[in-house]
Amino acid sequence: MPYIVREQEAKKLEVSTMFGGRNEKAAMSQAVASPVSKNMTGGYLRLYPGYNKELEIPLDEIDVFLEGNLNITFEGKTFTLQKGDVLFLKKGDKAVYSTDEGCFVFFVTYPLLKETVEALKKEQ
């Protein structure tokens, strides 16, 4: 049976605590996650103006840019993503993410985001 999340519920964003503690410049929702899906997470991410963080991606991720822009510096090259762009990141990619104006993104991860991040924290 299909699982439907209406826009109002799907876009309920909370301050992100996923990567390295609470970050007031990042808010996200996990509209589809465990237990609905055993393999993938899908939701929305808003990065506010001034966001700047270096991250190593712990899973495969696809991002669809809905608003604003994001600069990604990867292996010394900077790419600017904007509305309509689609980004694929593979597990292990390291990059610096920054935005002056902010951005709003729909994301999908494989495997599950929360469970993957929690498992990595336990390993440290």
Reported as a single tens digit per residue, the pLDDT across 41-81 is 999 999 999 999 999 999 999 999 999 999 999 999 999 99
Architecture of the domain spanning 7-123: Sandwich (2.60)
> If phi over 0 gives left and psi between -120 and 50 gives alpha, with beta otherwise, what is residue 76?
left
pLDDT > 70 fraction of the chain, expressed in percent and rounded: 98
Reported confidence tier of residue 122, pLDDT bands at 50, 70, 90: confident
Check residues 18 and 37 and name the one with the higher pLDDT.
37
The residue with greater pLDDT, 29 or 118, is 29
* Contact (CB, 8 A) for 19 and 28: no
